[in-house]
Amino acid sequence: RKEVEQDPGPFNVPEGATVAFNCTYSNSASQSFFWYRQDCRKEPKLLMSVYSSGNEDGRFTAQLNRASQYISLLIRDSKLSDSATYLCVVNNGNNNAGNMLTFGGGTRLMVKP
Amino acid sequence: DGGITQSPKYLFRKEGQNVTLSCEQNLNHDAMYWYRQDPGQGLRLIYYSQIVNDFQKGDIAEGYSVSREKKESFPLTVTSAQKNPTAFYLCASSISGPLNTEAFFGQGTRLTVV
């Protein structure tokens, strides 16, 4: 089983749609969680951190379910510019080893006019 | 401007050659990382370093080597022992703790074996 698993997609949605991605992780001791966005042939960039209480940033909402070991990303009112690959990232580091980011394979989103 | 810079952007290597990818950051970050990305795949950790003169193997370190002589620099050498080196290589840096800090990435180097 992969440490961090995502549905690769692609998710093809019309503009204005609401779309949700899930990501599961295998290490119950994982410390922190992130969603990164990666455009084609570019480097990943942080979209948002994921907090236990859930957090929202504009049209984007992230949730963490530690009991079931998954995180989710909800995008409301999709824009054409949201088309990208969304990477789920889990930090399995500790105070000795420091940060140890493990990336999922990414979920590709394509928003159509 | 602070940031992380990788060079070159594109690199072609003949089989059997060693090549070195450069990664420099002026963010004053202690931690630096090298990842490899294959088409349609996520990122896999090659090596990481939490402090100068120290580094650790990641999940796919075979065929690669690194050094960390300066805080700002973390070069990656792809050796001839790496059987399938064609990939997109990404360097990242972060502060060393706490654990909820983000990683900042360079723009990547595309390595092709010809």
For B12-71, the pLDDT digits (tens) are: 988 889 999 999 999 999 999 999 999 888 889 999 998 999 999 998 999 999 999 999
Q: According to the model, what pLDDT value does residue B98 have?
A: 57
Rounded CA-CA distance B89/B58 in Å is 14
Segment A6-16 shows an average pLDDT of: 95
**Chain B within 8 Å of A43 (Cβ-Cβ)?**
yes
**Chain B within 8 Å of A10 (Cβ-Cβ)?**
no
Q: How far is B105 from chain A (nearest CA, A)?
A: 6
Rounded CA-CA distance B33/B37 in Å is 13
User: Is B97 in contact with A49 (Cβ distance < 8 A)?
Assistant: no
Total residues found in chain B within this entry: 114
Q: How far is A14 from chain B (nearest CA, A)?
A: 23
Residues in B touching A90 (Cβ below 8 Å)? none
Q: pLDDT-derived band of residue A76, with 50, 70 and 90 as boundaries?
A: very high
User: Is A97 in contact with B50 (Cβ distance < 8 A)?
Assistant: yes
In degrees, rounded to 5, the angle at the alpha carbon of residue B95 between the alpha carbons of residues A71 and A37 is 40
Q: In whole angstroms, how far apart are CA B77 and each of A40, A82, B18, B67? A: 25, 35, 7, 9
The distance of Cα B5 from the centroid of its chain, to the nearest Å, equals: 11
Residue type, A98: G
User: Is B42 in contact with A45 (Cβ distance < 8 A)?
Assistant: no
Mean pLDDT for chain A overall: 90
User: Is B40 in contact with A94 (Cβ distance < 8 A)?
Assistant: no
